[in-house]
Amino acid sequence: MRTGLAAVASLALVGCISVGVGGDVPRHVQYRLHDDGVAMARRAEPLVPALLIQPLPADALADTLSIAYSPRANEFALYQLASWTERPVRQLPRLLQQRLQARGVAAAVGVLGDPLRADWLLTIGVDTLHHDIGAAPGQARVALSAELFDRRDRRRVARRNFEAAVPTLSADSSAAAAAMSLAVTQTFDALVPWLESELTAAVTKTP
């Protein structure tokens, strides 16, 4: 990957980096990555007593407060007047925790480091999170990798990758942030049923 993020960022399109209004001095804006799918039907009964989520080392673009865009394949730059309120590598696991709690997948759901003991562990890696503007106004791209483990025998139960690409309404940071949140929602929409299916199968096999 031809990174050189700082150098490439200085070449960003004016329309992509400006979030100013009218003739005002451009201001720096922070966006909160969020999940719109938390308000969902709750299971009648949890599948397991407790589940822990472990964030994995992420793509460098997901381990920063900066919001990245890509003008062409394997080339990235950073919006200069916009950033995340929290690094996605930290925010996404907490968003997933909230989604799983709302769904009632487990009686208790925590992120590794929380004071919670659990036999089941779900690891989450953020493989891609950026605004692809190769063809304006572009697409928000999100890719996650998930692995489910039974901690009692340190056995990996299942693994799967989840991807989403959501068209942006315009080639700017505001539209990119909104579309990336929607892409996160779509990956969770696919991940949660997969997790429920794998947990159901694994619990059924447990003696």
pLDDT at position 183 is: 98
Length, in residues, of the chain: 207
Is the pLDDT at 3 greater than 80, yes or no? no
Q: Render pLDDT for 16-51 as a digit per residue (tens, 0 to 9).
A: 444 433 345 578 999 999 998 877 789 999 999 999
Mean pLDDT of 130-153: 96
Is the pLDDT at 2 greater than 80, yes or no? no
| Residue 192 within any structural domain of the chain | yes
pLDDT at position 23 is: 45
- Number of independent structural domains in the chain: 1
Mean pLDDT of 127-156: 96
Residue 164's domain comprises 47-205
| Residue 200 within any structural domain of the chain | yes
| Residue 189 within any structural domain of the chain | yes
| Residue 184 within any structural domain of the chain | yes
| Residue 4 within any structural domain of the chain | no
CATH of the domain at 147: 3.40.50.10610
Q: What's the mean per-residue pLDDT of the chain?
A: 88
Mean pLDDT of 141-147: 97
pLDDT at position 52 is: 98
At 69, give phi and psi (nearest 5°): -135, 160
pLDDT at position 24 is: 55
| Residue 40 within any structural domain of the chain | no
The answer to whether 115 and 42 are in contact (CB under 8 A) is no
| Residue 114 within any structural domain of the chain | yes
pLDDT at position 205 is: 78
pLDDT at position 165 is: 98
Q: Render pLDDT for 58-113 as a digit per residue (tens, 0 to 9).
A: 889 999 999 999 999 999 999 999 999 999 999 999 999 999 999 999 999 999 99
| Residue 108 within any structural domain of the chain | yes
